[in-house]
Amino acid sequence: MSGSGMHVPMIKGARHLRGKEEMMGLLLGFAEEREEIRLVTLEGSRANAAIVPDTYQDYDISYFVTDRTALLASDDWLDRFGEQVILQKPEDMELFPPELGSGFSCAWQRNRLGSESLLYTEMAEVRADP
């Protein structure tokens, strides 16, 4: 390979990888569209200014909702963030009891290759203001 530029492999059939701005737009746009979502938080390495960004950083997102029923009824809403290759929902597993109380989490790999491939989402029910 000549030149000082970094080589980025291109794989036939690989899907477009979303950048940070596009992905954050999708995550926040979803929250704005859903009345039951009251708060969105970003945790983990993307929220920590002391962490040097790298290709393998994921998105650790929490949605605080007044009612999680519609979001738990179907996984279709996850499709808006990209193709689901692997989906894990620890609170639905039977081997160990749930640890989040009224919360619910899911982790999924959004595409087969490249950066930003894993999303971790938590939902916690919150009370609406009286």
Mean pLDDT of all residues belonging to the chain: 72
Domain residue spans in the chain? Answer: 41-125
Higher pLDDT, 124 or 81: 81
DSSP letter for 112, please: S
* Torsion over CA: 14, 19, 20, 26 (sign): negative
Q: How far is CA 43 from CA 34, 40, 74, in A?
A: 21, 10, 25
For residue range 50-71, list pLDDT tens digits in order.
999 887 777 888 888 888 888 8
For residue range 79-101, list pLDDT tens digits in order.
887 777 777 777 777 776 666 66
Which candidate, 97, 110, 126, places its Cα nearest to that of 36?
Answer: 126
Higher pLDDT, 9 or 26: 26
Using DSSP bridges, classify how beta strands 37-43 and 118-125 pair: parallel, antiparallel or unpaired: unpaired
Q: Which CATH class is domain 41-125?
A: alpha beta
pTM here?
0.68
| pLDDT at residue number 98 | 65
